């Protein structure tokens, strides 16, 4: 950053030195006119003026550059100490780097999990239903319970069901197989979340059921899987792909950044059970 000449720190310091020197010279001249010898006149002028170094420091503080000078002094001192003990300096820098990296990683997790709102439509109206026996804690409600709640529902606009795909699952891509995980979902899930696929129509709308229907054997891919396993080919919709030696028809591709639940669609696929 360059300053105008009259604002440059070195120029202002020089002007300050010249102003103080001129003031002392005038004060000494007044003392000499009153009869003092030159040496006594200069001594009296300096005594009345006060601590020159302190006045300079306070004047520089009023300019607002004192913090910069102290920072440069600290930096020079730190560099001198690092040259004296390079091994100790490397250990300190490494420790600081690890601490900063750990703090940054934790903040990233907290930011994504707690601070950033979910990108679904009307997120404040979404709730997750779980069951518990009061002893062993909560677990995801099974499909049969969800189906009964759907039939007797008078409180919610709609209810969807999802369950993790079990085991290790491998998707056959263009050049290699990709290990994926995902969710088995009812067809109304994306409608409830208010998210539409970026490619394809997704699952065909019908009354949600599980394990049967015209959507059985169809999948919706995440944006990451689509790009990594199939090179982002727009002809992927309608193609038959294989997961663990089973055939599935691709019904769509979700938009970038879509997560369900809590990142489940990053490098993952959704298998429909309508």
Query: pLDDT tens, 149-194?
Result: 888 888 888 888 888 887 788 888 777 788 888 888 888 888 888 8
> By mean pLDDT, which of 4-13, 166-175, 256-265 is the weakest?
4-13
Q: 50 pLDDT band (50/70/90 cuts)?
A: confident
Assign 3-class secondary structure to 172-233.
ECCCCEEEEEEEEECCCHHHHHCCCCCECCCCCCCCCCCCCCCCCCEEEECHHHHHHHHCCC
In the prediction, which pLDDT does 250 show? 92
Through-space distance between the first and last CA atoms of the chain, rounded to whole angstroms: 63
Residue 243's DSSP bridge partners are 171, 246
Residue 29 reports pLDDT greater than 50: yes
pLDDT, tens digit, 9 for 90 and up, residues 227-251: 988 889 999 999 999 888 888 899 9
SS3 50: coil
Q: 145 pLDDT band (50/70/90 cuts)?
A: confident
> By mean pLDDT, which of 28-32, 68-72, 137-141, 259-263 is the weakest?
259-263
Q: Which helix (H) or strand (E) holds 252?
A: strand 246-253
Residue 263 reports pLDDT greater than 50: no
Q: 48 pLDDT band (50/70/90 cuts)?
A: confident
**What does the mean pLDDT of the chain come to?**
77
């Amino acid at each position: 950053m360059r300053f105008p000449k009259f604002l440059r720190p070195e120029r202002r310091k020089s002007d300050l030195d010249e102003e103080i020197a001129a003031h002392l010279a005038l004060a000494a001249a007044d003392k000499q006119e009153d009869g003092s010898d030159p040496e006594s006149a200069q001594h009296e002028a300096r005594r009345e003026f006060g601590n020159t170094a302190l006045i300079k420091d306070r004047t520089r503080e009023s300019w607002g550059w004192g913090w910069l000078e102290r920072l440069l002094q600290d930096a020079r001192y730190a560099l001198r100490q690092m040259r004296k003990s390079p091994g100790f300096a490397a250990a300190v820098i490494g420790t600081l780097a690890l601490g900063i990296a750990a703090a940054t990683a934790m903040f990233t997790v907290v930011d994504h999990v707690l601070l950033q709102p979910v990108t679904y439509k009307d997120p404040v109206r979404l709730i997750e239903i779980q069951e518990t026996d009061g002893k062993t804690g909560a677990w995801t409600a099974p499909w049969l319970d969800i189906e009964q709640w759907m039939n007797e529902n008078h409180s919610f606009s709609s209810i969807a069901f999802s369950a993790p795909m079990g085991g290790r699952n491998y998707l056959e891509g263009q050049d290699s197989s990709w290990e994926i995980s995902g969710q088995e979902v009812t067809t109304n899930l994306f409608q409830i979340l208010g998210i539409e696929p970026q490619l394809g129509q997704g699952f065909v709308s019908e009354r949600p059921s599980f394990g049967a229907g015209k959507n059985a054997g169809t999948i919706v891919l995440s944006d990451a899987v689509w790009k990594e396993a199939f090179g982002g080919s727009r002809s992927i919709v309608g193609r038959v792909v294989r997961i663990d030696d089973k055939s599935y028809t691709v019904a769509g591709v979700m938009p970038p950044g879509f997560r369900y639940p809590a990142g489940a669609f990053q490098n993952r696929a959704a298998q429909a059970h309508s």
